[in-house]
């Protein structure tokens, strides 16, 4: 079946679930083909009003209604959510819970359960997520294709091995925070140099958008693009020299590695 022909259910209707639902609706999925199980009344009411989908606090009803189930509850709540899911046979389960392994999910879903583990990021809320997906031993190539299609509706998505999801967490999962800090710091530099705060923030943010778009659309190495901006003896190479002196590149590398290692530690505890 195509994605449009599948019924998609959400276990949880919080911020990330709402972002995915928003992306699916924009992609052309009918609200009639989406439903959600949510026990927190304000979140349930928001999903009903904002998206026009069916919402209930009965997870087993969501499972009965759906072909694809997206597990969007907090990691600590997964066991409870799946224990109340009823008959899970024949369903595809896609989990966005950080640190919960495919092996753990397959045990909770039951024998023969088709499971895909996904790591999106907060930019899903503006449909610009960078998402890694990994399939379990029972998930098919068609299942993976459906997951990729779902998460491509909220940005870009790629299939990777599960043992690399910690690296995805350290890079694109945590990465928006690093970029937010960079934008804030660039804007601070602009304010120091005389720009008003609002203008400095807008210029810094748009500069990041533009640079990122050039990397993706040109296919050129970031180093090549950097060299295009650095005129001999100019302002840009002067700034680049300061960044190298301050070891900014090394700091970014270390931040991604630290996030990756922390993700591994949390995974061992789950």
Structure tokens at 242: 């300061």
Paired tokens of 150? 């779902």
Separation of alpha carbons 3 and 194, rounded Å: 51
The answer to whether the beta carbons of residues 69 and 63 sit under 8 Å apart is yes
Query: Please, which residues bridge with residue 157 across strands?
Result: 131
Grouping H, G, I as helix, E, B as strand and the rest as coil, residue 132 is strand
Instruction: Give one word for 12, left, alpha or beta, with left for phi > 0 and alpha for psi -120 to 50.
Output: left
Tens of pLDDT along 200-212? Answer: 999 999 999 999 9
Contact, 93 vs 114, CB < 8 A?
yes
Each residue of 123-146: pLDDT tens digit?
A: 999 999 999 999 999 999 999 999
**Neighbouring residues of 261: CB distance < 8 A, sequence distance ≥ 6:** 166, 170
Give yes or no for a contact between 63 and 4, defined as CB atoms under 8 angstroms apart.
no
Q: What are the distances in angstroms from CA 201 to CA 68, 175, 191, 205?
A: 41, 19, 9, 6
Along the 270 residues of the chain, how does pLDDT read in single tens digits? Answer: 799 999 999 999 999 999 999 999 999 999 999 999 999 999 999 999 999 999 999 999 999 999 999 999 998 999 999 998 989 999 999 999 988 999 999 999 987 889 999 999 999 999 999 999 999 999 999 999 999 999 999 999 999 999 999 999 999 999 999 999 999 999 999 999 999 999 999 999 999 999 999 999 999 999 999 999 999 999 999 999 999 999 999 999 999 999 999 988 887 766
Using a 10 angstrom Cβ sphere, with 0-12 exposed, 13-18 middle and 19 or more buried, the burial of residue 232 is exposed
Q: How far apart are CA 270 and CA 257, in angstroms?
A: 20
């Amino acid at each position: 079946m195509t994605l449009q022909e599948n019924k998609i259910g959400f276990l949880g209707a919080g911020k990330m679930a709402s972002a995915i639902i928003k992306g699916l609706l924009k992609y052309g999925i009918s609200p009639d083909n989406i439903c959600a199980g949510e026990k927190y009344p304000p979140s349930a009411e928001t999903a009903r009003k904002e998206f026009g989908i069916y919402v209930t606090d009965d997870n087993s009803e969501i499972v009965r209604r759906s072909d694809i189930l997206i597990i969007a509850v907090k990691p600590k709540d997964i066991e409870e959510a799946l224990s109340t899911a009823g008959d899970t046979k024949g369903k595809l389960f896609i989990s966005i819970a950080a640190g919960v392994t495919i092996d753990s999910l397959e045990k909770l879903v039951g024998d023969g359960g088709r499971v895909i583990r996904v790591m999106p990021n907060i930019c899903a809320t503006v449909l610009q997520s960078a998402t890694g997906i990994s399939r379990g031993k029972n998930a098919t190539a068609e299942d993976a294709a459906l997951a990729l299609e779902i998460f491509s509706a909220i940005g870009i998505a790629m299939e990777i091995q599960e043992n690399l999801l910690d690296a995805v967490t350290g890079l694109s999962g945590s990465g928006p925070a690093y970029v937010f800090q960079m934008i804030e710091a660039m804007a601070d530099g602009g304010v120091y140099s005389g720009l008003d705060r609002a203008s400095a923030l807008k210029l810094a943010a748009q500069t990041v958008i533009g640079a990122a778009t050039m990397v993706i659309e040109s296919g050129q190495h970031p180093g090549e693009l950097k060299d295009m901006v650095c005129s001999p003896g100019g302002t840009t190479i002067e700034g680049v020299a300061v960044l190298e002196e301050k070891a900014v590149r090394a700091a970014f590398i270390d931040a991604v590695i630290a996030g990756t290692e922390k993700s591994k530690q949390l995974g061992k505890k789950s």
